[in-house]
Amino acid sequence: MATLKELAKKPEILSPGHRLCAGCMAPTVVRQILKAADTPVVIGNATGCLEVSTTIFPQTAWRCSWIHNAFENAAATLSGVEAAYKSLKKQGKVKDDIRFIAFGGDGGTYDIGLQSLSGAMERGHHMLYVCYDNGAYMNTGIQRSSATPRGADTTTSPAGEVVQGKPMNRKDLTAIMAAHNIPYVAQVSPSHWNDLVTKVKKALDCGGAAFINALAPCHRGWRIPIDEGVEISRLAVDTCYWPLFEVVDGEWKLTYKPKEKKPLVEFLKPQGRFKHLFKPENEHILKEMQETVDRNWQALLKRCGEA
């Protein structure tokens, strides 16, 4: 495993000077992921915050081969590129060892792009799909997605007198991807860079399809100070809202276990999107959300043989 100093010396594939918001965790996630690559990469990028803010014509922040895709087809496009590469390499027309990485937000992954993602994974293309999960359609106005947690106040699940934010629980996309029986699936957080980089190296070298779900707080949508993205990510992990684990050839393994599992409210309270839940009349929602996290955590421990 490379040290932090060694990783810092590697060239930046995503350059400074892009237009992503100050404090956005998406570029932090991307930079950490690309630091793990030891070969040239081809990037497929679904429409979203990352795409529009890094490629405002006529500039680009990408120092590699990069393809813009529609919301729904990043996985399909990159799977085609990977198939062409395999053919060219077999013919001896390409000598380089190249890796293929697709990036999509939760809107373009959990929802609009789920079909093409599922197809690419089922076909077994040697590519890594990374979802940077900021919990809503942030680029188009903070509308709720199926990754949005219960209780979150968004523009399409507003907190009001009748409904207190999104009434449904979020989709467990990581488990859905594991159900495809692909070589590698993992969940990561930018607060735990060593865990993240280690998993990306495994994903890139697994010899087949791989999926990584990366937490990527959005300070505008989550309503947190711009300098607290890493700390909020850490709280997500330590409250077990966003546990860190991997699934290697169907075997589930916990990669981080908090020394002290913190109550969920420590993750929720700093975020403006949940402030309405701390009214006395909404205590039952907080209780139910904690029960859901506890139940999911126990189920994960059992899957990983740690119960």
CATH number at residue 288: 3.40.50.970
Cβ–Cβ under 8 Å, residues 273 and 157? no
Count of domains observed in the chain: 1
Rounded-to-integer distance, Cα 74 and Cα 98, Å: 18
Between strands 245-248 and 184-188, the pairing is antiparallel
Comparing CA positions, the residue from 238, 243, 129, 138 lying closest to residue 182 is 129
Classified as helix, coil or strand, 56 is: coil
Rounded-to-integer distance, Cα 284 and Cα 150, Å: 13
Q: Could you tell me which residues are beta bridge partners of residue 101?
A: 43, 128
Classified as helix, coil or strand, 275 is: helix
Domain containing residue 56: 4-303
Q: How many CB atoms lie within 10 A of CB 281?
A: 9
Rounded-to-integer distance, Cα 304 and Cα 209, Å: 21
Q: How many CB atoms lie within 10 A of CB 77?
A: 19
| Lateral strand order in the sheet of 245-248 | 65-69, 41-46, 99-105, 128-133, 210-215, 184-188, 245-248, 251-254
Task: Note the pLDDT of residue 1.
Answer: 62
Sequential pLDDT tens for the chain (307 residues): 678 888 888 999 999 989 999 999 999 999 999 999 999 999 999 999 999 999 999 999 999 999 999 999 999 999 999 999 999 999 999 999 999 999 999 999 999 999 999 999 999 999 999 999 999 999 999 999 999 999 999 999 999 999 999 999 999 999 999 999 999 999 999 999 999 999 999 999 999 999 999 999 999 999 999 999 999 999 999 999 999 999 999 999 999 999 999 999 999 999 999 999 999 999 999 999 999 999 999 999 999 999 7
Rounded-to-integer distance, Cα 170 and Cα 300, Å: 16
CA triple 108-204-184, angle to 5 deg: 70
CA triple 81-134-219, angle to 5 deg: 130
Q: Could you tell me which residues are beta bridge partners of residue 46?
A: 69
